[in-house]
Structure 1
């Protein structure tokens, strides 16, 4: 056992430093995300979701760092990763819109152009949407819950919130009032 410690002393020290760094980054990252969420008055569920995403990302970087620290031969691990990524790539290609919705959800969290309770107008000519104002009830990882004036609830994908023109209702109503004066 002592010979193991002596033989892999540098790798063990590197592993301990890597794990400590990851724990510190996770703690301060989660604390920062929660602070941004609180200052921006963002729903706690959304904040926890982004903390979970950052933890998964840090774990991936940690695994990569540990592979580098322990000097795993990339030719051997390359074959395993290429096989796994080929299978995952085919599966994810079929689910590309889900990934784009998750990414859009993260972007919406940090740029926070919309909040729960905001009244918005969706200006999308491709989809048959009534020309009305919607209230944002909830912002999830994949979609946003919108409520119409008549009480009907429906979902709208996060990626469309970034791709299509969305106006805040107060701003839209003011611009319509000003344009009628012209």
Structure 2
């Protein structure tokens, strides 16, 4: 056992440093996203979703760096990643619309000018909508029409269509908190 620590001392120290840097970056990113969410008055569920996305991305980058620390050669990783990306490419092509909605949800987190409670009008020639935003999720928005119907509208279409703000915070205040 002592021989193991002596033999891999440099790799263990580098791994501990990587882990320390990983946690610092994770904490900074998490704090920054929460601050942006609070400043922009964004729903907590969306904030936690973006934190989850960034955490997974950071973890994958950390695993890649750890592989190099432990002695993996770039040509070895090339074979693994080319195989993984070939399979992922076929799978992602099959579910491109879902990925489009998720990436649109991430873009909307940082730059969407409308909030939950706003009444908007979507200028779509096939399906014009005037509704109140009830919830913004990873894949779609929940919109409440004037007649009370609930419509789910894909995030990627929200970024493709012209949208007009009809009324800011149109939800009636009945004394209850909107979640």
TM-score class normalised by the smaller sequence: 0.7 to 0.9
Structure 2: where are the runs of 5+ without partners?
169-179
Partner residue, 1:119: 119
Partner of 1:34: 34
C-alpha deviation, 1:75, in angstroms? 2.4
In structure 2, which of residues 149, 165, 179 is the aligned counterpart of residue 168 of structure 1? 165
Q: How many angstroms does 1:169 deviate by? A: 1.2
Inter-partner Cα distance in structure 1 for 2:77 and 2:65: 14
- Residue 144 (structure 2) pairs with residue 137 (structure 1): no
**What is the count of residue pairs matched by the alignment?**
168
Aligned pairs for 1:1-182 (under 5 A) are 1-125=1-125, 128-130=126-128, 132-170=129-167
Greater per-residue helix proportion = 1
Q: Is the 8 A contact 1:105 1:158 kept in 2?
A: yes
Q: Aligned partners of 2:149 and 2:167: how far apart in 1?
A: 21
Greater alpha carbon shift after TM alignment, 30-39 vs 139-148 = 30-39
- Aligned-pair distance for 1:46? 0.6
Q: CA deviation at 1:170?
A: 4.1
Q: TM-score, normalised by structure 2?
A: 0.88
Shift of 1:4: 2.1
User: CA shift at 1:6, angstroms?
Assistant: 2.2
Kept in 1, the 8 Å contact 2:118–2:167? The answer is no
Give 3-state SS (helix, strand or coil) of 2:98's partner.
helix
Q: CA separation in 2, counterparts of 1:32 and 1:73?
A: 35
